[in-house]
Structure 1
Amino acid sequence: MTKQTTKQTAKQTAKQTAKQLILVTGGTGKTGSRVVSRLRERGTPVRVASRSGEQPFDWHDRTTWDAALEGVTAVYLVPLDGELLTRPFVERAAELGVERVVLLSGRGVDTPEQADVTGPSHLDGENAVRAGGLAWTILRPDWFTQNFDEGFFRDAVLAGELRLPLGDAAAAYVDAEDIAAVAVAALTEDGHTGQTYDLSGPRALTMAQAAAEISRATGRDIRYVPLSPEEFVAELAGQGWPAADAEFYAKALGPVRQGLNSHISDGVPRALGRPARDFTDYAQATAGAWR
């Protein structure tokens, strides 16, 4: 290869890289932060958009949308739950030249039980993405394994008791690392356009089984104490939760309690060509956060 050819190749690569700029909304959240890390590891230019991120972005302030979207070719879109803002955002993205969107949705948003929890926002967002004229991919994850160390269940694990209204129902918890890996593949590779990936872990666990996995990983005694929804709401109220928030939390757990999150899906292996990460591996890698 001549020096001139080498220079031309380098210029072409630089030009392609310059053209590729990916916007990550919710860029400091559970999946968004992991998408950002993976993109940066690949050397892909990324813009982190959130209220506290590098690029100020507020769903309720549309004056922040254009600055976030300027020069962007693809978007990892984490919607604002309960708000019908995905549609106008996708329309504006298309007007500003965005070519691809990967939407984080949720499992079962097209079923009455789940839609009753999430409201119309997720389903309307999916419909908007499909009709928006962009290359699109939709991710529908189960409950995140990271809820045990970064989210809803963290304080309960640290306290040694998971007091929840889940009965003996199981959920196929999916690792946020797998969600991020699928998102990055869909943002940067061919073959994912028009795909809706239902994302789960490789097996379903009851809360008692999840507690046992964490106990083995940490050497601590983590117990699951099943409550009725009424007992759960009363305990939260006793801890100072507003009644409406306590009732919504119990309602959000309803589909899990009904066994609607227990089925295993093929989204991770179909998108990545490998198995989804098992809960045991997650618990062992995360054990230090619970000690």
Structure 2
Amino acid sequence: MKNTKILVLGSNGKTGRRVVEILEKTGTIEIRPGSRNAKIPFDWEKPETWEKVLEDIHSVYITFQPDLAIPSATASIQEFSLLATKCGVQKIVLLSGRGEKEAQLCEEIVKQNAKNWTIVRAGWFSQNFSESFFLEPILAGIVALPRTEALEPFTDADDIAEVVALSLLDDKHNGQTYELTGPELLTFELAVNEIANASGRKISFQGISLAEYILMLRDYQVPEDNIWLVNYLFKEVLDGRNSNITSDIEKVLGRKAKRFSAYAQETAETGIWNI
């Protein structure tokens, strides 16, 4: 794939940034970052920016913000995937939401419109505790969340990015749907306990109702789009449908998926959870 150009949408995000780093190490791939602040800007809410960023692109990694579950996602994915194929894109790799029926509608759109495709499904990222909305309460020393009984196979963004990069680079992954999980099931409380142990900090966990959690997010002036998404995930997705693990990471990478405890230890060493 010498001189191949790959467009990475969400190049500053949790998986996009890591995919860019992996592709750069090959030394043979030209990467075009897709973000509002890139040299060639890209904005999901401004379709007029799409065609320019697709010029001379062989493959595209799609991450959709804030999530494929939002009502406008299907129309955006339909329009973008059609345009990408029209512009000569040979492969689309889509990051999809595990257990999200709305995301699966977007998967079908990509399958219909792309010349070649790979679907990569994932649920809750381990990095949500260090690079997203769970970081602030961890720093405050108290995490209050609903659905305390829910078991989730938290998936490391490094593992996801490696699967995505290989899917972009190797045609043997064309036409495959990979469902990625960590190697164990944990409640949110157990995950927080792992972080407390790794960081040497006292972090308490409190179970609250979803209604209380939504009110708390509004008190902290969290944007309504984010609140809608959190409500959707806790109400619709954390109902047990994802409380199982798969071996797809091992199947693609030839090694076990990263355990949450390993993520917690590695992340604690960066100092991100220090007060």
One fold, TM greater than 0.5?
yes
Which residue is equivalent to 1:106? 97
What is residue 53 of structure 2 aligned with on the other side? Answer: 68
1:238 aligns with 2:219: yes
Query: Which amino acid in 1 is paired with 2:76?
Result: L
Q: Which amino acid aligns with 1:168?
A: E
2:9 aligned with 1:28 = no
Q: 2:39 aligns with which of 54, 57, 60?
A: 54
Q: CA deviation at 1:162?
A: 1.0
Instruction: Provide, for residues 249-291 of structure 1, a one-character-per-residue CA deviation record: whole Å limited to 9, x for no partner.
Output: 2332224542233210122112212111110110001012101
Over the aligned positions, Cα root-mean-square deviation in angstroms equals 1.8
Change in Cα spacing, 1:95 to 1:261, as seen in structure 2 (3 Å) is same
Partner of 1:136: 117
Q: Bigger CA drift: 33-42 or 77-86? A: 77-86
1:87–1:124: 8 Å Cα contact kept in structure 2? no
Aligned-pair CA distance for 1:142: 1.3
Total equivalences in the alignment:
265
Structure 2: where are the runs of 5+ without partners?
none
Partners of 2:141 and 2:203 within 8 A in 1: yes
User: Structure 2 vs 1, CA of residues 109 and 249 (structure 1 numbering), >3 Å: closer, same or farther?
Assistant: closer
Matched residue, 2:79: 88
Pairwise CA distance, 1:247: 5.7
Letter in 1 for 2:155: V
Name the residue aligned to 2:272: 289
Match of 1:267 in 2: 248
Q: Which whole-Å CA distance do the structure 1 matches of 2:79 and 2:114 have between them?
A: 13
1:138 match: secondary structure: strand
CA contact (8 A) 2:100 2:237 kept: no
2-side partners of 1:71 and 1:240: how far apart?
Answer: 41
Give the TM-score normalised by the residue count of structure 2. Answer: 0.90
Query: Residue in 2 aligned with 1:113?
Result: none
TM-score by length of 1: 0.86
1:56 partner letter: P
- Conserved 8 A contact 1:217-1:283: yes
CA shift in 2, pair 1:187/1:51, >3 Å: same
Q: Which has the larger radius of gyration?
A: 1
Q: Quick one: percent identity of the two aligned structures?
A: 39
**256-265 vs 267-276, which deviates more?**
256-265
Separation in 1, partners of 2:133, 2:40: 27
2:62 — aligned with what? 77
For residues 62 and 138 of structure 1, do their structure 2 counterparts lie closer, same or farther at Cα, with a shift above 3 Å needed?
A: same
